């Protein structure tokens, strides 16, 4: 498709990166959960705008309204859906090529009650959203207690 055809095809879609949203929904479907079934999320935040994209694309807010979740404390420890309690890529480092593995490890620590100072109390299910190459590669998982992953 040419650029104009691609723009026309997605003109009615309110999401900047619909394939990122589709990856999250695919993970939710495989795990048979919805956003409200999760206790937190580790998202790709190599740059601050990436976290803004992730917040609305996982469904915590409507498109373009990520700032509301941030301003309202919804993504903090103790908030509606803690995001990046590990510190994320900005706080914990961005091992390019291995960031998604590190994020999955952080999610596994959460559901195993091994996250230490950044533990989300009672966490049983945690989501991950990782993307790279300008989102050409997008991967999302749901990690559950008992070693379940989807």
pLDDT in tens, 105-122: 999 999 999 999 999 999
**Per-residue confidence (pLDDT) for residue 10, from 0 to 100:** 77
Domain boundaries, the chain: 3-149
* Neighbouring C-alpha atoms within 13 Å toward the C-beta of 114: 8
Q: How far apart are CA 79 and CA 73, in angstroms?
A: 6
Strand boundaries in the chain, DSSP class E: 40-43, 125-132, 137-144, 148-149
Q: Give me the residues of the chain with pLDDT under 70, please.
A: 146-150
Tokens of 142: 């749901």
**Per-residue confidence (pLDDT) for residue 147, from 0 to 100:** 47
Query: Domain 3-149 carries which CATH code?
Result: 3.40.47.10
Strand partners, 43: 129
Q: How many CB atoms lie within 10 A of CB 7?
A: 10
**Per-residue confidence (pLDDT) for residue 58, from 0 to 100:** 97
Handedness of CA 48, 77, 137, 34 (dihedral sign): negative
Q: How far apart are CA 74 and CA 62, in angstroms?
A: 14
> Among candidates 59, 72, 67, which has minimal Cα distance to 14?
59
- Cβ-contact 125, 145 below 8 angstroms: yes
**Per-residue confidence (pLDDT) for residue 146, from 0 to 100:** 57
> Which distant-in-sequence residues (6+ apart) come within 8 Å of 1 by Cβ?
9
**Per-residue confidence (pLDDT) for residue 106, from 0 to 100:** 96
């Amino acid at each position: 498709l040419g650029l104009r055809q691609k723009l026309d095809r997605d003109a009615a879609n309110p999401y900047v990166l619909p394939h990122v949203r589709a990856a999250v929904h695919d993970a939710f479907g495989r795990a048979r959960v919805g956003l409200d079934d999760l206790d937190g999320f580790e998202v790709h935040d190599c740059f601050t705008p990436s976290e803004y994209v992730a917040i609305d694309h996982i469904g915590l807010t409507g498109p373009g309204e990520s700032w509301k979740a941030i301003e309202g404390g919804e993504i903090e420890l103790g908030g509606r859906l803690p995001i990046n309690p590990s510190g994320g890529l900005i706080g914990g480092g961005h091992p390019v090529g291995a960031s998604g593995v590190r994020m999955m490890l952080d999610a596994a620590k959460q559901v195993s009650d091994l996250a230490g100072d950044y533990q989300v109390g009672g966490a049983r299910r945690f989501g991950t959203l990782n993307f790279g190459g300008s989102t050409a590669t997008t991967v999302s998982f749901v990690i559950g207690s008992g070693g379940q992953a989807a």
